[in-house]
Amino acid sequence: MATDVVDVIRTKRDGAPLSDEQIRFFLDGYTAGAIADEQAAALLMAIVFRGLDARELTTWTATMIASGARLDLSSVGRPTVDKHSTGGVGDKVSLILAPLVSACGAAVPQLSGRGLGHTGGTLDKLEAIPGWRADLSTDEMLAVLRATGAVICAAGGDLAPADRKLYALRDVTGTVEAIPLIASSIMAKKIAEGTESLVLDVKVGSGAFLPALDMARDLAETMVGLGRAHGVRTVALVTDMEHPLGRACGNGLEVIESIEVLQGGGPADVRAVTLALAGEMLSLAGIDPAAAPSALDDGRAMAVFDQLIRAQGGDPDAPLEQAEFVRTVPCPTPGFVHRLDARAVGVAAWRLGAGRARKEDPVSAAAGIVCLAKPGDAITEGQPLLELHTEDEARFDAAVAALTDAIEIGPEPPEPRPLIVDRIA
């Protein structure tokens, strides 16, 4: 077994594969505090440039899982299936999907995160509902899951602690953008949560973490392989994030739009992506995917949403916080909306107060953007195109500046973009 971390760093630096013993030595030592941050940062940077092969990545992920607890969901009494999204702008699908899949007979143990930068976080959105709690103990999480068939909460500190420590280091050392490190970080937490099946929503486009299709496919294939290697049935959909998903971008605004979809309405693109993911989840759970549309339209999914919110301390009937200041951005010229850049809209929403630059920053429940017109819509000159919401009027100028060159109007309708770009299983 390697006993010198410098030898481990040199091995990867020089392009050789790490042995299973070296991987376990490094991850166990770093988690325990026996290996310094600067040494871990050096190895992470070597991985950025040299990569990890399939065997290395499987061992790396398994060691991160083994660094903490692995939940036992056998008491839930239903097939368990979860979904993970790599994040986007206006992506409120989890709020609809978990109660929908539960209404069809599966259990959804959704351990979610918070937003950072231009992408929103599921927990931030649900915390716009008065009283709702993200932080549940394991016993509380299991109780909610058994009672409602779904739970959406923060991951406990005992799940994959090696990943939590590595993620914080990657965030400050320029080592986030590496497929093996991204894939193992996501999959270690999802496998540790104990779900039997997993559907991955890998976003691609301007507003996605990975804007290039080849990298998005690579990440999807890598994560599907890791899931299978660890006994979790896994499928990935690559979905479009060139434009915001739906019309609402911002925490409370997205809750409102999610409820519209749960009531059988809402934007067509949100509904389509939700039903595509629900179909995959139900298929993996051994349930007829054709059950999903009717559960969305007949009120069953909405009823589970209400139960889920109440079970976690929230009041689904309480009014949501409203922004004190609202301003519209007019269309510069008549025609058809061709482009509404997702990243620019996400950055603008962040500058209005809907997002955070650092994990400890507060977020506004009321801030955000409503897209009054989307690509393909006809629009007249001066017609409101975007509606900006904020609690601080001084934020408008920076938000509007982020939208420079984000909007493109053409004389003819644009070619529609497919929402589901690829499926990897």
Which CATH number fits the domain that encloses residue 145? 3.40.1030.10
Q: State mean pLDDT over 87-107.
A: 97
245-278: string of b/e by CB count within 10 Å (b at 16+)?
Answer: bbbbbbbbbbbebbbbbbeeebbebbbebbbbbb
The predicted pLDDT at position 129 comes to 98
The predicted model scores a pTM of 0.95
Mean pLDDT of 76-103: 96
Same domain, 260 and 357: no
pLDDT mean over 26-37: 96
423 inside domain: no
170 is catalytic: yes
50, 92, 125, 189: the catalytic one is: 189
- Number of structural domains the chain divides into: 3
Please identify, among 277, 311, 345, the residue that sits at the C-terminal boundary of a domain. Answer: 311
Task: Please report whether residue 61 resides in a domain.
Answer: no
**CATH number of the CATH domain containing 28:** 1.20.970.10
Q: Is 230 a catalytic residue?
A: no
196, part of any domain: yes
Q: Is a pLDDT exceeding 80 seen at residue 246?
A: yes
Backbone angles phi, psi at 359, to 5 degrees: -60, -30
Does some domain include residue 319? no
Query: Is there a single domain that holds both residue 212 and residue 237?
Result: yes
Confirm whether 163 is a catalytic residue.
yes
Per annotation, catalytic residue among 102, 112, 184, 185: 185
Residue 214 and residue 347 in one domain: no
pLDDT category at 114 given cuts 50, 70, 90 is confident
Annotated active-site residue in 170, 203, 271, 351 = 170
pLDDT exceeds cutoff 50 at 27: yes
Q: For residues 186 and 108, state if they share a domain.
A: yes
> How confident is the model at residue 2, as a pLDDT?
47
What is the reported pLDDT for 171? 82
Contact 68, 159 (CB under 8 A): yes
CB-side neighbour CA atoms (13 Å) of 80: 21
Query: Which amino acid makes up residue 12?
Result: K
As a whole-number percent, the residues of the chain with pLDDT over 90 amount to: 91
User: Beta strand 378-379 with 108-112: parallel, antiparallel or unpaired?
Assistant: unpaired
12 is catalytic: no
Model confidence band, residue 49 (pLDDT cutoffs 50, 70, 90):
very high
Domain residues for the domain of 330 are 325-410
Task: Point out the catalytic residue in the list 12, 24, 84, 217.
Answer: 84
Q: Tell me whether residue 165 is one of the annotated catalytic residues.
A: no
In-domain check, residue 140: yes
Q: Is the pLDDT of residue 275 over 90?
A: yes
- Region of 246 please: left (phi>0), alpha (psi -120 to 50) or beta: left
**What is residue 362's predicted lDDT score, i.e. its pLDDT?**
85
- Which residue is catalytic, options 91, 124, 163, 269? 163
* Residues 208, 172 within the same domain: yes
